[in-house]
């Protein structure tokens, strides 16, 4: 097994982490969990992320600059169940791409089904489960899109700290969200034959633990539920946060290795009435996750606020929409 194959596999995982734009926002009592940029939050909502733009250097050898522009449309079928679709367009700068001169094209289309299992408003806790499907062969192989379909069952959670004792009010605006998924490729191995030499190469497709978390400090929560300390209005709409997103091959790893790849992303989200804007730095955790600090930005629309009586309602629901309590 050459290092080249290891790097290619790991870089594919890292790219998948960055490219997956499936995110949503969630309201639980006093707490609004914003749509995070890299991991998915536990929310089920009608929303649109357009665009999400990420620029970073890959973990390939040699490394190349990569630009990803993606979108995500999420539609509630019922109050607790939603389906989302996420296309991503990628541009690889030289020396990226199969011929080292760069390449452009779409990544595989992704679809996510998500169901909200549990919500407790008093304790600002929510849990959901979902299934992400990356449709193999729907993207361009020149930019690394896999020919395999990958199924990733995932669990999500969110917990606000507003129920901590009154002596810890300083901590009430904090919240933690997380996700754990298990990516299962549709085939355990990919066999290729060199047309010139006739050599057969077998690459095993690992099953991968996809996991991540975000730690948030909500200034909207501070103002509306803890203490209105007279900060400027713009500041009262900010949520500073740190996201972390990782992928760890855990089985069928004889050609991929088991190295964890991912990024740690400090940033900030501005929460408006009907949209949010977020920007984060992307700090790779090792050489195989990237060779430089990248950046990711996103504009995200709350369709349930923009179109409360049409596009922003579940297809099947008789209830009044639940709300987002914080400014």
Note the residues at the interface with another protein (CB under 8 A).
Answer: 27, 29-30, 48, 50, 121, 166, 169, 223-229, 272-275, 277, 299, 301-311, 320-327
Which is closer to another protein, CB of 235 or CB of 311?
Answer: 311
**Separation of alpha carbons 129 and 116, rounded Å:** 7
Tokens for 16? 């998948």
The minimum distance between CB 73 and another protein, in angstroms, equals 10
Q: Report the residue number, 138 or 169, with the smaller CB distance to another protein.
A: 169
DSSP type of residue 141:
G
Question: Which residue matches tokens 């992400």?
Answer: 132
In the bound state with another protein, the residue whose beta carbon lies nearer, of 54 and 225, is 225
Q: Which residue, 80 or 203, is less far from another protein as judged by CB? A: 80
CB of 235 to another protein, least distance (A): 14
Cβ contact 51:298 at 8 Å? yes
| Phi, psi at 124, each rounded to 5° | 50, 50
What is the spatial distance between Cα 25 and Cα 178, in angstroms, rounded to a whole number? 13
- C-alpha distances (whole Å) from 6 to each of 15, 19, 199 are 14, 20, 19
Q: How far is the CB of 244 from another protein (least distance, A)?
A: 29
Report the C-alpha gap between 165 and 162 in whole angstroms.
8
Of residues 29 and 34, the one with the C-beta less far from another protein: 29
Of 136 and 297, which CB lies nearer to another protein in the complex structure? 297
Does residue 238 have a cis bond before it (omega within 30 degrees)? no
CA distance 63 to 288: 9
What is the smallest separation between the CB atom of 251 and another protein, expressed in angstroms? Answer: 42
Residue 301, both tokens: 């629309």
- At closest approach, how far in Å is the CB of 241 from another protein? 20
CB of 221 to another protein, least distance (A): 9
């Amino acid at each position: 097994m050459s290092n080249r194959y290891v790097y290619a596999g790991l870089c594919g995982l890292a790219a998948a982490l960055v490219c997956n734009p499936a995110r949503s926002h969630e309201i639980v009592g006093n707490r609004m969990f914003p749509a995070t940029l890299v991991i998915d939050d536990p929310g089920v909502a009608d929303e649109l992320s357009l665009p999400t733009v990420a620029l970073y250097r890959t973990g390939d050898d040699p490394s190349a600059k990569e630009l990803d522009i993606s979108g995500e449309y999420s539609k509630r079928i019922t109050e607790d169940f939603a389906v989302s679709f996420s296309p991503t367009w990628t541009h690889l700068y030289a020396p990226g791409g199969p011929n080292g001169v760069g390449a452009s094209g779409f990544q595989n289309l992704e679809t996510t089904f998500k169901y909200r299992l549990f919500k407790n408003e008093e304790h600002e806790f929510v849990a959901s489960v979902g299934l992400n499907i990356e449709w193999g062969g729907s993207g361009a192989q020149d930019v690394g899109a896999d020919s395999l379909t990958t199924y990733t069952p995932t669990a999500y959670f969110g917990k606000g700290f507003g129920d901590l004792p009154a002596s810890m009010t300083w901590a009430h605006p904090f919240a933690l969200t997380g996700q754990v998924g298990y990516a299962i490729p549709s085939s355990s191995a990919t066999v290729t034959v060199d047309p010139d030499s006739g050599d057969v190469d077998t690459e095993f497709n690992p099953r991968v633990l996809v996991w991540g978390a975000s730690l948030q400090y909500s200034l909207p929560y501070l103002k509306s539920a803890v203490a209105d300390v007279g900060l400027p209005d713009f500041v009262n709409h900010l949520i500073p946060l740190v996201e972390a997103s990782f992928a760890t091959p855990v089985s069928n790893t004889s050609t991929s290795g088991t190295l964890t790849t991912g990024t740690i992303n400090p940033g900030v989200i501005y929460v408006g009435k009907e949209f949010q804007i977020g920007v984060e730095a992307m700090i790779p955790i090792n050489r195989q996750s990237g060779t430089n600090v990248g950046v990711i930005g996103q504009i995200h629309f709350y369709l349930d606020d923009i179109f409360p009586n049409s596009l922003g309602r579940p297809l099947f629901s008789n209830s009044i929409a639940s709300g987002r309590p914080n400014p």
